[in-house]
Amino acid sequence: MIVPENKMKTIILFVSFVLTNTLFAADSLQTTVSKATVFLSGAQVFRESQSFPIKKGVNEVVITDVSAYLNQDQIQATAKGNFLILDIQYQTEYIPPSSAVPAIVPKKIQNEISWLNDTILFIGFEKERISEKLRNLSEEKRMVTQSQLIKSGGISDTLPEFREIVGFYRSKLDEINELIHLWKKKQHLITVRDKKFRDRLNELNDYANNTGQPAKAAVNRNHIIVTTFADTETNGRIEVNYLVPNAGWIPAYDLRANSISDPMTVTYKAKVFQSSGEDWNNVEITLSTFNQNTFSTKPIAGIWRLDYTVNKVNLQPQYYSQNFTSNVELSNFKKELEKNKDENVVFEEKSFIPLQSFADINQNISNIEFNVKLPYTIPSTGQQKLMVILHEEIEAKFEHYLLPRKNTNAFLIAKLGDWESLNLLAGQANIYFKQTIVGNTYVNPPALKDTLELTIGKDDGIVTSRKKVNEEDDKVAFGKRTVKTYTFEIEVKNLNRESVEITLEDLIPITDNEEITIKLEDGDGATFDKKTGRLTWNLSLNPGAKTKVNFSYSIEHDKEKPIS
CA nearest to 461, candidates 260, 324, 176: 260
In percent, the amount of the chain with pLDDT more than 70 equals 77
Q: Average pLDDT for residues 151-163, to the nearest whole number? A: 62
Find the range with the poorest average confidence among 66-75, 183-192, 406-415.
406-415
SS3 label, residue 269: strand
The arrangement of secondary structure in 462-558, i.e. its CATH architecture, is Sandwich (2.60)
Which pairs from 164-172 meet CB under 8 Å and 24+ separation? 169/144, 172/144
CA nearest to 178, candidates 151, 140, 126, 150: 140
- Asked whether the predicted pLDDT for residue 403 surpasses 80, the reply is yes
Separation between Cα atoms, residue 493 and residue 485, nearest integer Å: 27
pLDDT grade, residue 298 (50/70/90)? low
Separation between Cα atoms, residue 401 and residue 376, nearest integer Å: 44
Predicted TM-score (pTM) above 0.85: no
- Exposed e or buried b per residue across 160-183, where buried means at least 16 C-beta atoms within 10 angstroms of its C-beta: eeeeebeeeeeeeeeebeebbeeb
N-terminal to C-terminal alpha carbon distance within the chain = 84
Residues 85, 226 contacting (CB under 8 angstroms): yes
Separation between Cα atoms, residue 485 and residue 118, nearest integer Å: 98
- Asked whether the predicted pLDDT for residue 204 surpasses 80, the reply is yes
Per residue in 315-332, pLDDT (tens digit) is 333 333 333 333 333 444
Per residue in 541-562, pLDDT (tens digit) is 999 999 999 999 998 888 888 8
- If you average pLDDT over every residue of the chain, what do you get? 79
- Asked whether the predicted pLDDT for residue 279 surpasses 90, the reply is yes
Indicate the pairing of strand 385-394 with strand 264-274: antiparallel
Separation between Cα atoms, residue 261 and residue 279, nearest integer Å: 46
Q: Say what the pLDDT of residue 447 is.
A: 62
Per residue in 456-473, pLDDT (tens digit) is 778 888 999 999 988 887
In the chain, where are the structural domains located? 5-96+218-244, 107-210, 248-294+314-398+424-450, 462-558
Per residue in 470-500, pLDDT (tens digit) is 888 776 555 688 888 999 999 999 998 888 8
Q: Average pLDDT for residues 58-75, to the nearest whole number? A: 92
Reported as half-sphere exposure (CB side, CA atoms, 13 A), residue 133 has a value of 18
- Asked whether the predicted pLDDT for residue 358 surpasses 90, the reply is no
DSSP states of 190-245 as a string? HHHHHHHHHHHHHHHHHHHHHTTS-SB--EEEEEEEEEEEESS-EEEEEEEEEEES
Cβ within 8 Å of residue 173, ≥6 positions away: 141, 144, 145
Indicate the pairing of strand 84-95 with strand 27-29: unpaired
Separation between Cα atoms, residue 80 and residue 138, nearest integer Å: 88
258 or 26: whose pLDDT is higher?
Answer: 258
Question: Could you tell me the sign of the dihedral formed by the alpha carbons of 82, 87, 90, 95, in that order?
Answer: negative
DSSP states of 59-113 as a string? EEEEE-S--TT--GGG-EEEEEES-EEEEEEEEEEEE--B--S-SS--HHHHHHH
